[in-house]
Chains A and B, each alone.
Chain A
Amino acid sequence: MYDAGKIIPGLIVFVGLMLFAIYYNVGNKIEDPKPEKPVGYTSCVLPLEEIRAEHMVLLNEWRDEVIREGKREKVEAGGKMYEKSLQNGCMHCHTSQEKFCDQCHKYASVNPYCWDCHVTPEYGKALGEAN
């Protein structure tokens, strides 16, 4: 073998990079996300499978319908009507961002920017009490 002094270290770097995910996880405690189930409600605005995979699409649709087309009519879930809204609709039932949305989002490494402007009910309540 020729140039072993350069080729072997190169290969070690290559294999090291390729195996990054394997040794990076060693010693990390990995838990499946556990989004808190809302208390007192039985069904979501969409069937479970769908809301899990499509909630971001639904939120965008709601936003467009409400603020671009002015369609503020309510949506039905489990026999009751709820506002077509992130903070007053979804989060009427899913009250906590940290214990619900963030559970999955941290795990899937998505970082929705919605709460830059929208406040969660928990935060709104704390804000009200502080004033």
Chain B
Amino acid sequence: MRILYPFLAILAVSLIAYLGGKVTGLQYLFGVVLPYLAFAVFIVGFVNRVLYWAKSPVPFRIPTTCGQGKSLDWINQDRLDCPNNKLEVIGRMLLEVFAFRSLFRNTKAEVHDGPKLVYGSSKWLWLFAILFHYSFLIVVIRHLRLFTEPVPSFVALTEFFDGILQIGAPTMYQTDVILLAAVAFLFLRRILSRHVKYISLAADYFPLFLIFAIALSGVLMRFYFRVDVIAIKQLTVGIATLSPVLPAGIHPIFFVHVLLVCILLVYFPFSKLMHMGGVFLSPTRNMSNNSRSVRHINPWNDPSIKPHSYAAYEDEFRDVMKEAGIPVEKE
């Protein structure tokens, strides 16, 4: 059910959009109204969620330290894995955000005869995750050709390099293939690896199906149904310039694509996909491990509460304690 329900949901939504995409009135709903709403929910929801996180105090230093901390001069510090100052933290964060360094550390634990616990390196997750994320980024940048006029040169440049293999017409983009392959891998990992499957929920499968369906409908649109790109750009540029028009003759598969993207946008701020913003706020990554050299004071300490020593405590409660038979230090 964890797998089937999300799958059926995506299927049903696609079907609704495909049938609705044939009706002009619904075309306006799917093509113009919902995208505006979804985008607004995405932006507001995202900002809201980050502000909500920002309200949580992080009074203690809780970085995960994966290396030697700063110590005596003659002991080498592992500066990226156990950062001691801002600069080192920035280095760690940059590598985390751009290179997924903590995923690179993914290991596989196996129990062998003996019994003996063995940890092996497991880089597949990192590899496909990085392929997936960068392909997705490039695909998003390429889509700007539909929302800008004239198209900025960095978009044209991205298109050029993405189609560098010059296969077929219209040119095949590598990232389309890589994105689909990577999502397929991430899905197979969840269902073939039994322990990963055991801890996977509908909320893990749903985004995978959703993103796969979005990419697939996009690929179908370009290579199979061959939608009228000029008409679609009139629609999308209209949206970006806040003066939407609905050209006639747009193929319904386009509305499937757009409705799925709208669902992704709305789902985003309320789901695990918020790791896009969350990675910057993870205290185990973005704090320096300097509690031995800097005193950190708990921000919610109430200054009117004075320290209360044991001696004073005993003075206050000596009679009661004696009555209850609790030993006291000073008779």
The answer to whether A and B belong to the same complex is yes
Considering the complex, which residues of chain B in the window 31-63 have a beta carbon less than 8 Å from any beta carbon of chain A?
Answer: 42-43, 46-47, 50-51, 54-58
Of B118-126, B177-185, B233-241, the one contacting chain A is: B233-241
Considering the complex, which residues of chain A in the window 9-46 have a beta carbon less than 8 Å from any beta carbon of chain B?
Answer: 10-11, 14-15, 18-22, 24-25, 28, 30, 32-33
Tier of interface size on chain A? 35 or more
A1 within 8 A of B: yes
In the complex with contacts A22-B240, A24-B148, A107-B149, A7-B230 CB distance below 8 A? no
In the complex with contacts A1-B51, A2-B55, A109-B159, A21-B148 CB distance below 8 A? yes
Please, which residues of chain B bring their CB within 8 A of the CB of A11?
47, 50-51
Cross-interface CB contact of A1 among B55, B144, B145, B234, cutoff 8 Å: B55
**Cα–Cα distance between A4 and B277 once the two chains are bound (Å):** 15
In the complex with contacts A30-B149, A33-B230, A56-B169 CB distance below 8 A? yes
A59 within 8 A of B: yes
**Cα–Cα distance between A109 and B47 once the two chains are bound (Å):** 32
Contact A2 B54 (CB under 8 A): yes
A13 to chain B: closest CB distance in Å?
Answer: 11
Contact B240 A21 (CB under 8 A): yes
Considering the complex, which residues of chain A in the window 83-126 have a beta carbon less than 8 Å from any beta carbon of chain B?
Answer: 104, 106-111
- What are 6 A-B contacts with C-beta separation under 8 Å? A15-B47, A18-B43, A32-B230, A32-B234, A108-B233, A111-B160
Where the two chains meet, the residues of B that have a C-beta atom closer than 8 Å to any C-beta of A are 42-43, 46-47, 50-51, 54-58, 144-145, 147-152, 155-156, 159-160, 168-170, 226-230, 233-234, 237, 240-242, 249, 277, 280-281, 299
Where the two chains meet, the residues of A that have a C-beta atom closer than 8 Å to any C-beta of B are 1-4, 7, 10-11, 14-15, 18-22, 24-25, 28, 30, 32-33, 49, 52-54, 56-57, 59-60, 104, 106-111
